[in-house]
Amino acid sequence: MDRNMENTNISTIIKKMSPEQYKLTIGEKSAVPLQKAFPRKRVIHPGAMGKMIPPKSYQAIWHDLLAQNNLTARQRTAYIHIPFCSQQCLYCGFFQNHCDNDRETLYIDHLIRQLKAAKEYSYLQASPLEAVYLGGGTPSALSDSNISRLLIAVQNLLPLTNDCEITLEARVNDLVDKKISSWLVNGVNRISIGVQSFDTEIRRRLGRKDSREIIFENICRTASYNKAAIIIDLIYGLPGQHVEDFILDLEYTKDLPIDGMDLYQLNVFEDGALQKAIKKGILPVPAPISEQGVYLEKAAAWLDNNAYRRLSTCHWAKTSRERSLYNTLTKAGKEIFPFGAGAGGLIDNTAIFLQRSLDLYINDIIADRAPVMFMTQQSDLNGLFSTIQAQAETGRLDIRKLSQKYGKKLLELEEIIEIWINHGLLKRNGQYTYMTIAGQFWQENITQTLIELSQELLCGEKQFIMQPIAR
């Protein structure tokens, strides 16, 4: 960390900004901050100042990381990627491969081989995992025999805490007894169901087949086992969806035996299937960003009135069963051990992304190579960036705490905090600063700006371009 930046202060940083840059990073005062605090949403890049590691070093670095023995106790998780879906939904930007029984079985064979290799990783085995997340893709699309094989391997080969949260992402039409039993018998204790909307017409436009009645029936069937937390995902701002439709979705949950829900804002990916369908007139234009904040505002009020407990800016708990532990730990920058094609992770300050291609992943496993697509070495400031992101996820900022750990110069960020208070994004309560509903909606902008300004205060410049490092 470069400490020789005495002349860099928040005032000079702001003065150097163009009007457009100022609006994007600091925002502007508006009578309706929920809608107009910033010109557009930003993407969080917590890996600022990371450096690309050259491919020739991947295998050696992977080995060195996982052969370490000097481990101090720390919170850690694992992510397991299942890159198969029965079909592609229009709104999804993560589709990789259609389900194919033979290819699925071949993939699970090699994924288990990767897990068996992990049994020999002294660094991984030295301390238990608090959460394991099976994502995708669609993990529930796996046959009951293949998911059973995989989950048994997870239980036998990975070090798990006694209360390890094991989450499996599921589609509604996979919630059948044979599959549900295979998940629960083999350790899954949290099922995240991609409902997105209860409106049958909206769902079918987006590629989701099941009606509202089938959703209710399948959720109730899954909950009747009483062996896992049941979580549903809902999306706001979908094509053809109005605020009233979204609140009606929430009303439907009153009588459903769920333990929590995640509310996500619609992302329209550039050149994605959804954007193409909208441009062709196949789907109506969704609500613009300037209006989507109202969806969150109304939903947050509804959830407060119905005794939900907020875990983060997009996760709510209905019962004490929901912990959202994996999401909480990873957003706070804790270690993630990656398994499977397309998985991403963070091991001892090194970000690792595994081969996305099934063939390349399988070939690496066969050759006893680490199936790495690319690696980056995180900045020395990564702990600071992760702390900022973790604070923002809770909707509560504490600049004083940041300055105590990472340097008094960060107290200058209070000038930005005051601006955001004036803009209606934040409010004071004792030593903490809380996000208003407008701040919660623009949380990504607030987070990314604090990351960039912290970096510039401590280092004198922003460096988001990844540069190769020598080994």
Residues 36 and 138 grouped into a single domain: no
The CATH number assigned to the domain holding 267 equals 3.80.30.20
| Residue-level pLDDT at 205 | 86
Residues 403 and 304 grouped into a single domain: no
Q: State the average pLDDT over residues 6-12.
A: 82
Angle at 91 between CA 86 and CA 94, to 5 degrees: 60
What global pTM score does this model have?
0.93
Q: What domain range includes position 146? A: 56-331
**Residues making up the chain, counted from first to last:** 471
3 occurs within a structural domain: no
Whether the Cβ atoms of residue 23 and residue 39 lie closer than 8 Å to each other:
yes
470 occurs within a structural domain: no
Letter for the amino acid at 452?
E
- Overall number of domains in the chain: 2
| Residue-level pLDDT at 101 | 87
Residues 301 and 181 grouped into a single domain: yes
Residues 107 and 34 grouped into a single domain: no
| Residue-level pLDDT at 95 | 57
Confidence category of residue 469, pLDDT binned at 50, 70, 90: very low
27 occurs within a structural domain: yes
Q: What is the pLDDT of residues 316-353, one digit of tens each?
A: 999 999 999 999 999 999 999 999 999 999 999 999 99
Distance CA 101, CA 201 (A): 30
Whether the Cβ atoms of residue 355 and residue 62 lie closer than 8 Å to each other:
no
Mean pLDDT across the chain: 92
261: which strand partners?
232, 316
Distance of CA 424 to the CA centre of its chain: 26
Residues 321 and 390 grouped into a single domain: no
